[in-house]
Structure 1
């Protein structure tokens, strides 16, 4: 994240930030649609043979929208690093609300005990691991 913060061009970054509709569609897709599709998949007969632990692991991966290594992959593939940076930060900030909310939904549907994820805990993680290194 630190190397990303150092390499970001502020002019190009602001250009992507101004495209709020585009960013909102991507955030809804990654922070809401993907977890809900995973939930539907986990409820389907296709996953009937999976252990509960495997289902929980898939659910947790689906809930977390932010993947820092994709930034490196985007750069290697010739992708737009500024867009990747904006999406990384926006999805991390959105996770403060989306992860605890969707975790509650998963917890109630799967009757999971002890799977408490609080917004403050996610916010601290996002701040220390993803936002501070960019400053």
Structure 2
């Protein structure tokens, strides 16, 4: 049953596992666990998802060069959206006080919505 679910959702499962692996390796290997480092990695997560989305468009273009007229404008749009995503990430406070945490969570949620849409659109165009 689990194998069937993974096979049916492989387009989503593999990217999510890769991003989780990246965060785990980045924050846990060769260093003790630090909550602040994990918090910073979580805030950066939408940026990673955005770049993954752009890489899917690049792969789609390599596999189907004749789809360039559709993919080139989409890649350009995604690059502009990545600027917005990076700005949202950079504007997110990393302090752990009550107000900065809520501000950071709000910006991170907005960023996650943006890059989540990018991921869904990128996968749909593959």
Length-normalised TM-score, structure 2: 0.34
Length-normalised TM-score, structure 1: 0.32
